[in-house]
């Protein structure tokens, strides 16, 4: 896998990756709720936020968003789940200062993945960052408390 800065040409294929990943893992969302969120993701992919494309065999197959010390987004095409791309993305994020993340409580596979990677839950947030009623679990990398 190659991790590189997101280019404008990556936006459309990565929006498709997001959609497939959410449909495969976010069972708490209805199709209409996914449709409502999609324009926000399109805008996010076009924003100035630090975003990286995860290329697998020359194809954009995921993306990683970092905001200061937080993994703000990590989506990988579900056809490639379990093949090590998530681990590589997490390693990259940690090497670049990420120490926290938020994960939907209704996505137990992602929660389990992050726990397996070594993150620990520290707090529950009742709504997502847009104020929707989708609780988030805030997680941190264990060395965070030790270094503060």
What is the pLDDT, as a whole number, of residue 144? 56
What residue segments make up the domains of the chain, in order of their start? 2-147
Q: What tens digit of pLDDT does each residue of 44-72 get?
A: 999 989 999 999 999 999 999 999 899 99
- Sign, Cα dihedral of 139, 145, 147, 148: positive
DSSP-derived 3-state class of residue 87: helix
Q: Is the pLDDT of residue 75 over 60?
A: yes
Nearest to 120 by CA among 148, 141, 146, 95: 141
What is the pLDDT, as a whole number, of residue 33? 96
Q: Is the pLDDT of residue 30 over 90?
A: yes
Average of per-residue pLDDT across 118-124: 97
User: Does CATH place domain 2-147 in 3.40.630.30?
Assistant: yes
pTM assigned to the model: 0.92
Mean pLDDT of the chain: 94
Residue 82 backbone zone (phi > 0: left; psi -120 to 50: alpha; other: beta): left
Q: What tens digit of pLDDT does each residue of 77-118 get?
A: 999 999 999 999 999 999 999 999 999 999 999 999 999 999
CA distances from 22 to 40, 74, 124, 126, 138 (A): 14, 11, 21, 20, 19
């Amino acid at each position: 896998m190659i991790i590189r800065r997101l280019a404008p040409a990556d936006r459309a294929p990565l929006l498709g990756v997001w959609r497939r990943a959410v449909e495969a893992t976010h069972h708490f969302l209805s199709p209409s709720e996914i449709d409502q969120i999609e324009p926000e993701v399109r805008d996010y992919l076009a924003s100035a936020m630090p975003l990286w494309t995860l290329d697998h065999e020359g194809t954009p197959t995921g993306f990683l968003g970092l905001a200061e010390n937080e993994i703000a987004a990590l989506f990988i095409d579900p056809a490639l789940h379990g093949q090590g791309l998530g681990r590589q993305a997490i390693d990259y994020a940690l090497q670049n200062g990420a120490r926290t993340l938020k994960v939907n409580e209704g996505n137990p596979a992602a929660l389990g993945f992050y726990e397996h990677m070594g993150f620990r839950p520290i707090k529950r947030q009742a709504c997502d960052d847009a104020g929707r009623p989708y609780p988030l679990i805030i997680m941190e990398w264990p060395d965070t408390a030790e270094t503060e």
